[in-house]
A = this chain, B = another copy of it.
């Protein structure tokens, strides 16, 4: 597969998982996280390490999210060999609330020739205003 097709595939994987997440369904992301997955978000005191930790967190959030619509801003995939770094800004609209995010997803092509996310970092855009 050529570079542009791989970048397109990564982006499609992310959008599919994100759109499930926006309906409170974490299964899209959980299906593509690797066993050695690491994770940062603005609600954790420290990094989460390993699939079981993120599974536990996401199960506790199942059914709770409801994003009405979103804008994915300037997604870029930095592809190099078996690693694809996807970064984007995300604006999520939930009722009267607006959430503004920085997102880093590091995808890796594993030995079974499947792209999996090995690291994810979510943070708020200008959290202190």
Encoded as 1 (CB less than 8 Å from any B CB) or 0, chain A from 39 to 68 comes to: 010111111010000000000000000000
Question: Closest CB of chain B to A109's CB: distance in Å?
Answer: 9
Interface residues of A, count at CB 8 A: 35
A94 at the binding interface (Cβ < 8 Å): no
Interface of A is mostly: strand
For window 73-129 of chain A, which residues contact chain B by CB distance below 8 Å?
A: 73-74, 76, 78, 80-83, 85, 87-89, 102, 104, 106, 108, 118-119, 121, 123-128
Each complex incorporates copies of this chain amounting to: 2
Residue contact B85 to A118, C-beta cutoff 8 Å: yes
Contact of A12 with B by CB under 8 A: no
A127 to B85, CA, bound (A): 25
Point out the residue from B36, B80, B121 that lies within 8 Å of A102, measured CB to CB.
Answer: B121
Does chain B have a CB within 8 A of A22?
A: no
Q: How far is the CB of A84 from chain B (nearest CB, A)?
A: 10
| A38 interfacial by beta-carbon distance below 8 Å | yes
Q: Could you say which residues of chain B place their CB within 8 Å of the CB of A44?
A: 125-126
The reply to whether B124 and A47 contact each other, CB–CB distance below 8 Å, is: no
Given contacts A80-B108, A118-B78, A127-B127, contact A85 B47 (CB under 8 A): no
Q: Do residues A128 and B42 form an inter-chain contact, with CB atoms below 8 A?
A: yes
